[in-house]
Amino acid sequence: MIQEIKQRCIREAPYIWVSRLVVFERCEPEPKIIRDIRLSRGLNILWAEEPDENDVVTPIAGHSAGKTTFCRFLRYVLGETTYANQKNAKLIRSAFPNGYVAAEIYIEGKLWSVRRPIGNGRLSYIAQDLTIEQLIEAGGRSVPQDKYVERLGINSLMDRLETAGIAKSGETIQWGHLLAWMTRDQESRFQSIHEWRSPRSDSNTPSFRYPRSGALFVMRAALGLFRPEELRGEEQLTVLYKELEQLEKETDEKRREPQYRANLRISQLREKVQNIFAEDNSIASLPLREPLLPDLLKRAADGLAIIDKQIFNLEQQDQATQQAIDEKNAELKERQSLKEKLDTAKAQANDVSDQASSGLSNRRNQMAKLSENQEAECDMAQILIKNCSYVKDLFSKLDRASAKDEHEYEQLEARSVQQRQRFDERVREIESRITHLQEELVKLRVQRTQYQKELPEMRLLRSYIAERRVALENWCEAPLSTDDFKELNALEQALADKRDEIQKKENHLNELIREHQANQDMLAGIFSMCVRSVIRAPGYDGKVDFTNRELNFQLSNGTAMSGEAVETLAILLADMSSVLFNCVSKGSNLPGFLLHDSPREADLGLRLYRSFISFIAELEKVFGGADQCPFQYILTTTSPPPRDLREPPTRKDRFSALTENELFLRRDISSTNPVELEPYLFSDESPQ
């Protein structure tokens, strides 16, 4: 199918792609370049190598080498309002107060050069048909943030969409939405097809009132998966949702009126009282108040009395349980202390035995040495040592002392054995009691935890019933007539009718989508091809579900698969399938570039990861090389890419944390003192 995509391709180049990105420490008086990265169409790899932890000790990991900063700078030159989260933006601005990021961008085949501030500057500069160097020399046209995308002509892509607004909410589809999809946040961890940005990135990307349905609508609109009658239906549905919203607002206001509040409280009180008196079938029909007969208010009072008794009993049980816990803890502490004393006494007894054994051993060693030297000559008396009277006397004394010591040691050891046995038996008794106490404490704590859970619930229930009972007693003094809530009933009926109308319209739209098969089949076929090209094991496939106006990309092996790695791969292939679909579909209006920031960090296995990268490289070859490729794919990675893709021309640059000069910004910005940012840098407004 790859060859079929090439044959059916209707685009010679991406609508938008970046050919060069340059970071300047300053632009004047003499420009000083920090980093100059040349990009191409097709596959672009930026590798942030991780140091070998066995060989290198560095405070900065590969994940901090600057790859995400590169991605943020790329998004910034493409129209995003910020170039880092607030913390990193302060550090970058402090490190490079005169810094700029510049780029050469092709938009609908025309070259634009841009220069945007990352330091104290406020204005951006753009020029057509000039290089970055020529832009700096000529100055270019200054442009404020709110006009940047418009002046570059990027909005011409948005004008091609079949619809300008999002059904249901009526929100305008903006360039920021497409940019977010094509340049997913690394912080979002590739968690779902429709979550493009994380709040932690401070990207100021336009949000959706309904995040899931809004994002999926934008994706379907950009891919051209709508027919004219479907769009008309979506527009009608938008009107219906606005009418529903107004009805809900009016109904909520009417429900706040006294009669409705009274009816609601009666219903709530009746439900709680019925729970207390489960066997009393009359509660459902009891009048609210009846002086001479049973009524709901009287039964509520009876229920409160029962709850009060239950609360009292729970409090008593809770106190008794806590007292038992305290007593068990005290005994446990006492037993543990006694065990420590016994262990100490046992150790002391062992020391006495060891000392006695040591003394006996020393005498035996002395006698052994004397015996070994019997035939030696004494230096003092010039006779054999065995004939020396002093040695004979000493040997005799040692022999008698050893015999005595050995007898005493045997008696001491016998006593020690008996004493150790008594110690061990007593310790076992204490340990058994300690274990029993600990088990009892676990049970008591579980029991008290249950009491601690039930008590607040019972008190809350009592407060709930008492509050409604008092309010209804007061309301009974000045009731309203049934005519007072006719308007509310009418509104609720209109609300139900409107919801039915919306449901019918949604069902009709779903039918239209099912009829719209050609484009859906093409997208599903491309996704299936991508999955089978990356996962080459038999039985694996990819499916796209369009039911209920969804856009769900799934991996399957007979049945749908799940898991973090599966979801990540499905999202990567869904994005790539959308870019390839854009190459063959006249109705699709994607920019044609795609950026993925460290997708393997989202639990993707290395083998699948490299297979995915090799697949993109194969696509580039099929189209005739980078210069002929109708899309641009940029990948930042800390994991090594396949060996044949680790060098230029595919690998565009390499970052590393081994030395400061190898970082993307060639400086450890964490060592700088951050300065406060102007408020406009993280808002939708900028100085004019």
Among 1-10, 101-110, 324-333, 651-660, which range has the highest average pLDDT?
101-110
Give the model's pLDDT for residue 256. 67
Parts of the chain belonging to CATH 3.40.50.300: 2-226+516-682
Find the mean pLDDT for residues 246-263. Answer: 76
Whether the predicted pLDDT of 354 surpasses 80: no
Alpha-carbon Rg for the chain, nearest whole angstrom, is 41
Residue-wise pLDDT for 416-426, tens only, equals: 677 778 878 88
Find the mean pLDDT for residues 309-317. Answer: 94
Query: What three-state secondary structure class fits 651?
Result: strand
Parts of the chain belonging to CATH 1.10.287.1490: 296-476
Q: Tell which phi-psi region holds residue 536, choosing left (phi > 0), alpha (psi between -120 and 50) or beta.
A: alpha
Are 636 and 71 within 8 A, CB to CB?
yes
Going 38 to 67 to 530 to 649, the CA torsion angle's sign is: positive
d(CA 386, CA 392): 7
Give the model's pLDDT for residue 476. 77
Whether the predicted pLDDT of 484 surpasses 60: no
Give the model's pLDDT for residue 367. 60
- Per-residue burial over 420-441, b = 16 or more CB atoms within 10 Å of its CB, e = otherwise: eeebeeeeeebeebbeebeeeb
Find the mean pLDDT for residues 106-111. Answer: 97
Are 180 and 224 within 8 A, CB to CB?
no
Q: What is the CATH number of domain 2-226+516-682?
A: 3.40.50.300
Q: Answer with the residue of higher pLDDT: 66 or 361.
A: 66
Residue-wise pLDDT for 76-88, tens only, equals: 999 999 999 999 9
Q: What is the DSSP letter of 682?
A: G
Percent of the chain past pLDDT 70, that is, above it, reads 81
Whether the predicted pLDDT of 133 surpasses 80: yes
Q: Poorest-confidence range of 235-239, 612-616, 617-621?
A: 235-239
Are 12 and 627 within 8 A, CB to CB?
no
pLDDT bracket for residue 242 (50, 70, 90): confident
Give the model's pLDDT for residue 682. 44
CA-closest candidate to residue 98, choices 79, 115, 77, 78: 115
What six digits make up the tokens of 444?
A: 């008591």
Q: Answer with the residue of higher pLDDT: 98 or 682.
A: 98
Find the mean pLDDT for residues 105-118. Answer: 97
Percent of the chain past pLDDT 90, that is, above it, reads 50
DSSP 448-495: HHHHHHHHHHHHHHHHHHHHHHHHHHHHHTSPPPGGGGHHHHHHHHHH
Strand partners, 117: 100
CA-closest candidate to residue 213, choices 253, 187, 241: 241
Give the model's pLDDT for residue 688. 32
d(CA 611, CA 619): 12
Question: Could you tell me the pTM of the whole model?
Answer: 0.62
Give the model's pLDDT for residue 510. 74
- Count CB neighbours of 501 within 10 A: 15
What six digits make up the tokens of 549?
A: 């106006």
Among 28-37, 262-271, 342-351, 557-566, which range has the highest average pLDDT?
28-37
pLDDT bracket for residue 583 (50, 70, 90): very high
Residue-wise pLDDT for 3-62, tens only, equals: 889 999 999 999 999 999 999 999 999 999 999 999 999 999 999 986 655 555 555 544
Q: Three-class SS string for 13-70?
A: CCCEEEEEEEEEEECCCCCEEEEEEECCCEEEEEEEECCCCCCCCCCCCHHHCCHHHH
> What order of strands is seen across the sheet that includes strand 541-545?
541-545, 552-557, 559-560
Give the model's pLDDT for residue 684. 41
CA-closest candidate to residue 666, choices 676, 674, 658, 677: 658
Give the model's pLDDT for residue 680. 45
Helix residue ranges per DSSP H, 552-646: 564-584, 606-622
Give the model's pLDDT for residue 292. 73
Q: Answer with the residue of higher pLDDT: 604 or 403.
A: 604
Query: What three-state secondary structure class fits 117?
Result: strand
Find the mean pLDDT for residues 195-216. Answer: 92
Q: Poorest-confidence range of 40-44, 200-204, 357-361, 624-628?
A: 357-361
Residue-wise pLDDT for 365-390, tens only, equals: 666 665 666 666 666 655 665 566 66
pLDDT bracket for residue 120 (50, 70, 90): very high
> What order of strands is seen across the sheet that includes strand 593-597?
593-597, 632-637, 42-49, 651-656
Q: Three-class SS string for 185-217?
A: CHHHCCCCCCCCCCHHHCCCCCCCCCHHHHHHH
Find the mean pLDDT for residues 482-507. Answer: 78
Looking at every residue in the chain, the average pLDDT score rounds to 85
Whether the predicted pLDDT of 289 surpasses 80: yes
Whether the predicted pLDDT of 572 surpasses 80: yes
CA-closest candidate to residue 89, choices 122, 118, 123: 118
Q: Poorest-confidence range of 233-247, 473-487, 506-520, 639-653?
A: 473-487
Find the mean pLDDT for residues 289-297. Answer: 82
Give the model's pLDDT for residue 506. 80
Whether the predicted pLDDT of 340 surpasses 90: no
Helix residue ranges per DSSP H, 96-167: 132-138, 145-152, 155-158
- Per-residue burial over 653-681, b = 16 or more CB atoms within 10 Å of its CB, e = otherwise: bebbbbeeebbbbebbbeeeebeeeeeeb
Give the model's pLDDT for residue 550. 78
Q: Answer with the residue of higher pLDDT: 364 or 300.
A: 300
d(CA 61, CA 615): 28
d(CA 47, CA 616): 16
Q: Poorest-confidence range of 95-104, 198-207, 415-424, 533-542?
A: 415-424
Whether the predicted pLDDT of 184 surpasses 50: yes
CA-closest candidate to residue 573, choices 536, 610, 542, 538: 542
pLDDT bracket for residue 685 (50, 70, 90): very low
Q: What is the CATH number of domain 296-476?
A: 1.10.287.1490
Report angle CA 681, 687, 688 to the nearest 5 degrees: 145
pLDDT bracket for residue 511 (50, 70, 90): confident
Q: What is the DSSP letter of 284?
A: G
Report angle CA 5, 8, 13 to the nearest 5 degrees: 85
Whether the predicted pLDDT of 512 surpasses 90: no
Are 81 and 680 within 8 A, CB to CB?
no
Length of the chain: 688
Residue-wise pLDDT for 402-461, tens only, equals: 566 565 556 656 666 777 788 788 888 988 999 999 999 999 999 999 999 999 999 999
d(CA 505, CA 233): 7
Give the model's pLDDT for residue 234. 72
What six digits make up the tokens of 60?
A: 């900065």
Whose tokens are 């390839």? That residue is 580
The number of CA neighbours under 13 Å toward the Cβ of 237 is 21
Q: Which residues are within 8 A (CB) of 280 and not within 5 positions of it... i.e. 6 or more apart?
A: 274, 299
- Strand 42-49 and strand 651-656: pairing? parallel
Q: Poorest-confidence range of 30-44, 285-299, 504-518, 584-598?
A: 504-518
